[in-house]
Structure 1
Amino acid sequence: MIKEKIIAVIPARYAATRFPAKLMKMLGDKPVIAHTYAAVAGSGLFDDVFVVTDSELIFEEMVSRGGKAIMSVAEHESGTDRIAEAVKDMDVEVIVNVQGDEPFMQKEPLEKIVALFNSDAVQVGSLMRKFASEEEAQNPNAVKVVTNKKGKALYFSRSVVPYKRDPQASVPYYLHIGVYAFRKKALLDFTGWSPSLLEQTEKLEQLRFLDNGVDIYMAETDYETVAIDTPEDLEKAMALLNR
């Protein structure tokens, strides 16, 4: 078991590009962000759970429900930068970043990412699962990851990797699930580095770690993400909640 203090932080930006204010949309009896907070806090894995937000509406919603929330001070390009600002003066060792639009987050994938940090060698961890089909892997919005035998990520891409030179080759494709965990130093280092060329090309900020020589260890899970990115996703989530 991990002896260090480990917390979960949920970045919650109000003005989402594709679906503005999505985190405050009602899903059953409470907003999406409140479901996510309840799922993460209810896992029992963390010494503390916080929502970090740029929105007074989200802040007040969480506090009114007995949750913990922190207001961002500065403008940030990413949720990772927002989290780094929030934790820089906290006495913590490991920070798990769970996206605010994951209302059905489960304990099993969180346990797996936390377990990676039983090794002192791990500075950054994340999750992956096998694609159900090769056709699913063709979607450029589904980020692929390739690892070595030790579970370290070799590369992340929107392209299908590895490329099958022999069409008959049998190889699994892995979807990268955007749940991250960092040791505090690795997180703060990340915010001090300029965006790398690969990161800017693929529009994948995790490539900044690889470009700067920091390994990302991957844990495999069967967890099927249910992220709320569009109004249609919210309708699907409502149907799932009703079931």
Structure 2
Amino acid sequence: MVNALGIIPARYASSRLPGKPLLDLGGKTMIQRVVEQAQQARLSRVVVATDDERILAHVRSFGGEAILTAPDHPSGTDRVFDAYCQLDAPADCIINIQGDEPFIRPEQINALIALFEADPRTQLATLVKPVVTSEELFSPHMPKVVLDARGQALYFSRHPLPYQRQHAPEQWLAQHRYLRHIGLYAYRPDILAEITRLPPSALELAESLEQLRWLENGYHILTAETELATLGIDTPEDVARALHYLATSS
């Protein structure tokens, strides 16, 4: 049995939604919903890693576990590593659960844990989902990923890959099975320590996708496929969609 530790990075600052983790979504804050979903997965512990005392106090108020990290981390991965070092808790893998994904499903987290159970040599893991609409395919806000025959990521891009030169773009989805990246990450602890020491890479800066830094430096990212959609909260429009989802799914 793999000992999997769940860490949820949650910043207060957001250019589009300040205080995002504390947004009320149907009577519960976003961060409480993330924590409660994660607690249903096969995780030995779920901890919120935050830069803000208000988030820290709120998580503790509903019985969650939270830890205060440095305020100036450039990425959620760095915040996760900060929290892991403070916790000093043994783990076979660490799951980075996005703090703005209030409807993350436990089975999605478990799918990543299963990759480490199947092969303890797994370095990094993430989720992919089949693209089903042209909107998804051509949206730069929904990164795509191409895999090798073993299910390891070859490249991530905000542009649809592969480019099909024999077909018009409106035909691409009918001609090829495209995969979208779902931003849930898992790391072996020693690998997490290594990747947080890497400087930003050329591909990462070009695409603004952190995982390209890992690929560019020779690390392997294994993937698990999910059919379940996610709903990240980044804009006021996303909040409206989340409230609609809650109203129609209850």
Alignment TM-score > 0.5, same fold: yes
User: What is the match of residue 46 of structure 2?
Assistant: 49
User: What is the match of residue 123 of structure 2?
Assistant: 123
TM-score of the aligned structures, taking structure 1 as reference length? 0.95
1:15-54 pair list within 5 angstroms: 15-43=13-41, 45-54=42-51
1:134/1:173 contact within 8 Å kept: no
1:192 counterpart SS class: coil
1:198 counterpart SS class: helix
1:144/1:160 contact within 8 Å kept: yes
User: What is the match of residue 233 of structure 1?
Assistant: 238
What letter corresponds to residue 9 of structure 2 in structure 1? P
2:22/2:55 contact within 8 Å kept: yes
1 CA distance for matches of 2:108 and 2:128? 9
1 CA distance for matches of 2:16 and 2:137? 22
Runs of 4+ in 1 over 6 A off after TM superposition: none
2:69/2:82 contact within 8 Å kept: yes
- Determine which of 194, 202, 206 is the counterpart of 1:201: 206
What letter corresponds to residue 162 of structure 1 in structure 2? P
2 CA distance for matches of 1:231 and 1:74? 24
User: What is the match of residue 132 of structure 1?
Assistant: 132
Q: What whole-Å deviation, never above 9, does each CA across 1:142-183 have from its counterpart, x for those lacking one?
A: 101000110000000011101112216721111100000000
User: What is the match of residue 214 of structure 1?
Assistant: 219
1:93/1:183 contact within 8 Å kept: yes
User: What is the match of residue 196 of structure 2?
Assistant: 191
1:32-111 pair list within 5 angstroms: 32-43=30-41, 45-88=42-85, 89-111=88-110
Gapped regions of structure 1 (runs ≥ 5): none
User: What is the match of residue 144 of structure 1?
Assistant: 144
User: In the TM superposition, what is the alpha-carbon distance from 1:134 to its structure 2 partner?
Assistant: 3.5
What letter corresponds to residue 15 of structure 1 in structure 2? A
2 CA distance for matches of 1:115 and 1:93? 12
2:2/2:116 contact within 8 Å kept: no
User: What is the match of residue 157 of structure 2?
Assistant: 157
Query: Percent identical across equivalent pairs?
Result: 41
User: In the TM superposition, what is the alpha-carbon distance from 1:84 to its structure 2 partner?
Assistant: 0.6
Which deviates the most, 104-113 or 178-187?
Answer: 104-113
TM-score of the aligned structures, taking structure 2 as reference length? 0.92
1:62 counterpart SS class: helix
2 CA distance for matches of 1:232 and 1:240? 12
What letter corresponds to residue 46 of structure 1 in structure 2? L
2:2/2:113 contact within 8 Å kept: no
User: In the TM superposition, what is the alpha-carbon distance from 1:74 to its structure 2 partner?
Assistant: 4.9
2:142 counterpart SS class: coil
2 CA distance for matches of 1:142 and 1:73? 29
2 CA distance for matches of 1:42 and 1:164? 41
Counting matched residue pairs gives 240
